[in-house]
A and B are shown apart, each in its own frame.
Chain A
Amino acid sequence: MANFIDRRLNSKNKSTVNRQRFIRRYKSQIKKSVEQAINKRGVTDVDRGENITITKKDLSEPVFHQDKGGVKDRVHPGNDQFVTGDQIKRPPQQQGQGSGQGDASNSGEGDDDFIFSISKDEYLNLLFEDLELPNLEKNQLDKLIDYKTVRSGYCAEGVASNIDIVKSLQGSIARRIAMTSNKRKELKILESELTALIDDKHEHIQEIKNIKDKIKILENKIAKVPFIDTFDLRFRNFAKQAVPTSKAVMFCLMDVSGSMDQATKDIAKRFYILLYLFLTRTYKTIDVVYIRHHTQAKEVDEQEFFYSQETGGTIASSALELMVKIMEERYKESEWNIYAAQASDGDNWADDSPRCKKLLTERILPKARYFSYIEITQRPHQTLWQQYKKVSLSTEHFAMQHIETVEDIYPVFRELFKKNSKRAA
């Protein structure tokens, strides 16, 4: 009267829905945790999930339950020293008074924060919820970047190296059969006549000779059909197919002149991390080029980019020029999707700003997929902003935003890459 059921092969993810419900409910806390995590990571370090911390207090499921205090009567096992009437000093802080009490209706696990891990995908999804890669759709439709050669059937003409022997010989056999079938039929008839004549009791020397001549002629004719003809030849055909490239390059441009302090750089760093994370969702290989500038621009590695000190004035166009140079040398726009993010505190030598605008509109924006400019400052905007503003009005894949404090970074990022946004600054 027992049934055994093997459930081991049933899906084991019965709780998945509930887990998603949990994440859904604590999205705001989890997001906060995710955002804090960004700060601790390098720009390109995005290949793992993240541990999420939520304070226990936020998670509580309140119920009515008894507090400490009042009269508590408890029975405990293992009496080794007490007799009736003993008075035991109350342990300080109400703690050890029989651990059977106190945690009776609480979760009883101490007040640690609730920590759990989310997968990389969950992490990124939370980070980029509602965001969409700028301009992506349009680009994939009208500007196909990479080509791949694929087989596409056979054709009658081509170079010798592409000859398909099997196909060609099949053609040859078919042609030969087709061209000789009538003659073979005749030949067969003649041969049977011949044997008939030979077997005949009477002699038919003349007739036999005639038939033998005819047979010879026919055999010659058959032999004359060429074994292979140019007509038989088949060549493998190849076609070029366009595929969107999976390569992207991301230019990080940053002003490191004296006016940029470490806090400002940190804000910029987070912005770059976000951009990088964002790109990894679409592209397989991503190069990151760091260009820092004051009066001169220089290509550097990540460490130097964010953490080494420089002082001096500011000529933003130098960085743009270097970017153009690198683009031409290493990153052809036909092969690479080019993204760029420039961060600055807005300081620029006034006469240089129009030049920046010119470089941007003429040399960079036609090739780049997207260019974003963030200005991290608490002061009023200066010439660079005003010049860029003009650019942003005329160009769709250029975006600019103003960040004042760290808290702004995420909303601004969102703003920059808002879904289906019409960029009207």
Chain B
Amino acid sequence: MMEKREPLSDQCDWNFDLLNQYQTEIDRVAKHYRLDTYTNQIEVITAEQMMDAYASVGMPIGYNHWTFGKKFIQTEQNYKRGQMGLAYEIVINSDPCISYLMEENSMSMQALVMAHACYGHNSFFKSNYLFKSWTDASSIIDYLLFAKNYISECEQKFGISEVESCLDACHALMNHGVDRYKRPQKISLEEELKRQKDREEYLQSQVNTLWRTLPKNNDGLEHKKPTFPSEPQENILYFIEKNAPLLKPWQREIVRIVRKVSQYFYPQKQTQVMNEGWACFWHYTILNHLYDEGLVTDNFMLEFLHNHTNVVAQPDYNSPHYSGINPYALGFNMFIDIRRICEHPTEEDKLWFPEIAGSNWLDTLHFAMENFKDESFISQYLSPKLMRDFKLFYLHDDDQESFIEVAAIHNESGYKKVRSALSEQYNLSNIEVNIQVINAEVDGDRSLTLKYTPHQNVPLAGSKNEVIKHLYSLWQFDVRLVQDNEQGEEEIIARCPEKECDLETKKAS
């Protein structure tokens, strides 16, 4: 049994001394549960600064761009009108791991936030395989600083408008600047800086040469032309950076910066449920542990539980507050459920999860956190009990039919269907549109062709025309977006420049 100790003060106002005491205790308990974290850097900020942090979408050092200003004005307006509260905390995947605590929070909230962000998220960043392989926490701050300086340097050299339009175009394609399958190589800032100059020159020469030395297709033989790229490319920004014929070196570097930032955030998109669930599970477990030790008072716990319950609430589908499944709720309950399966498995659990039922819960939890992303985590660990608790049901909506079908519900025959449907729902490759570069006309009009492959016949939204314009501004030759129609032929669904005659004149010249 744990020995009872003098409880920590549960006064509402925090001070640095008290923060330190709580942090020490939380740290001790976190170690007890084998949470491996980066060094914490906890920064106390005001609400205004929180809005600044919001506006830069989680980058502690952001380059300057109007969209961040827009975001800031929006946040400020909403906040001032009382339409939204601010997040209690923001945490940055960096080493040391920076977390922001808001000045306005009460002591109890600060403790919750510290357990949540500084130990929950922090350990997730350090141990999950996606973060390990995609992001380099130790160099991200340096890289963002490099990016900021580089971009402001460009602004001085080439003008704000030039840089802005380049960034606009890159932002439009940001979701397509990610290597989904390739593993990135880690390099430090020094190397990055060192290589950057060489790369500028090298890339430029490379591009020019590429176009110049292509063999002329002068024999009249009908053989299939080798296409360039030989394989379809999903990382559009990467393709642009390496192959766009007329981009200036600094523009390539900017494309690269946006691509890197996108790549940095990619794992966060893929692990929302897990990441939040893991952090919620740990703030809940750690603070309850402290409570069991008698270190925190009832007072403290009541306020904590009140906040915790708000965070992990899941409104039903017919509630006016419903806006999809709450990742905090789903994640938190799944981790709690995994622990339950390990500690108190039922017959059903033993059938569904023979490998974890009855095992050491801490080992199992760490394993689950380290080796999965949302999609696989759900398909692996979502238990029938949880589906019943959430009363999950699966709607199949085909626009060819005049009705929506309830394809499965939380019953014996439906568990597997519901689970795989939910898992698919978190599969980024289903949510994000699949567009790939299929051909760049290297020996002709230099036109670029991309192909949209719809997922379950979902069409592309009207914004495609605008995005294609942005793409055109980077490629600077004709850009076409095609899609296979019912006959299996490629059909142009968007192009820039739009008019056919433009195309003709360009060809002629």
Contacts and interface: CB of A to CB of B under 8 A. Distances in A.
Nearest to A12: B48
Contacts of A85: 405-406
B181 interface: no
Given A22-B73, A71-B398, A86-B405, 10 more contacts: A3-B42, A61-B67, A63-B175, A70-B398, A75-B394, A76-B393, A78-B317, A84-B406, A100-B324, A116-B73
Contacts of A4: 16, 19-20, 23, 42-44
23 contacts: A2-B23, A2-B118, A14-B49, A15-B51, A15-B55, A15-B72, A18-B64, A19-B72, A20-B69, A21-B64, A22-B66, A24-B66, A60-B466, A62-B466, A69-B459, A72-B397, A77-B316, A78-B315, A78-B317, A78-B318, A79-B392, A84-B414, A88-B395
Interface of A: 1-8, 10, 12-15, 17-26, 59-80, 82-90, 97-100, 104-105, 114-116
Given A8-B103, A12-B48, A79-B409, A2 B392 contact: no
B462 interface: yes
A127 B23 CA distance: 53
- What is the interface of chain B mostly: helix, strand, loop, or mixed? mixed
A226 to B, nearest CB: 71
A64 B457 CA distance: 15
A18 B68 contact: yes
B48, B74, B397: most-surrounded residue (chain A CB, <10 A): B397
Interface stretch (B248-256, B298-306, B355-363, B421-429): B421-429
Chain A contact residues: helix, strand, loop or mixed? loop
Nearest to B76: A116
A140 to B, nearest CB: 34
A208 B321 CA distance: 119
Contact of A64 (B48, B391, B467): B467
Contacts of B396: 71-73
Interface residues of B, number: 102
B172 interface: yes
Contacts of B323: 99-100
B314 to A, nearest CB: 6
A78 B409 contact: no
A11 to B, nearest CB: 9
Given A18-B68, A61-B171, A100-B323, A1 B27 contact: yes
A156 B129 CA distance: 91
B408 interface: yes
Interface of B: 16, 19-20, 23, 27, 37, 39-46, 48-49, 51-52, 55-56, 62, 64-70, 72-74, 76-77, 96, 100, 103, 118, 160, 164, 168, 171-176, 314-319, 322-325, 390-399, 402-411, 413-414, 418, 421-422, 424-425, 431-433, 435, 452, 454-464, 466-467, 470
Chain B CB within 10 A, most for which of A4, A69, A79: A79
B40 A2 contact: yes
Contacts of A10: 45, 49
Contacts of A25: 66, 164
* 3 interchain residue pairs of minimum CB distance: A78-B316, A22-B69, A70-B458
Contacts of A70: 398-399, 454-459
Given A3-B96, A76-B392, A98-B397, A90 B418 contact: no
A7 B43 contact: yes
A80 B325 contact: no
A63 B398 CA distance: 24
Contacts of B411: 84
Given A12-B48, A24-B160, A116-B77, A75 B118 contact: no
A66 to B, nearest CB: 5
Contacts of B409: 79, 82-84
Given A62-B466, A71-B456, A79-B410, A7 B45 contact: yes
A73 B406 contact: no
A326 to B, nearest CB: 46
B467 A62 contact: yes
B56 A100 contact: no
B393 A82 contact: yes
Contacts of B96: 3
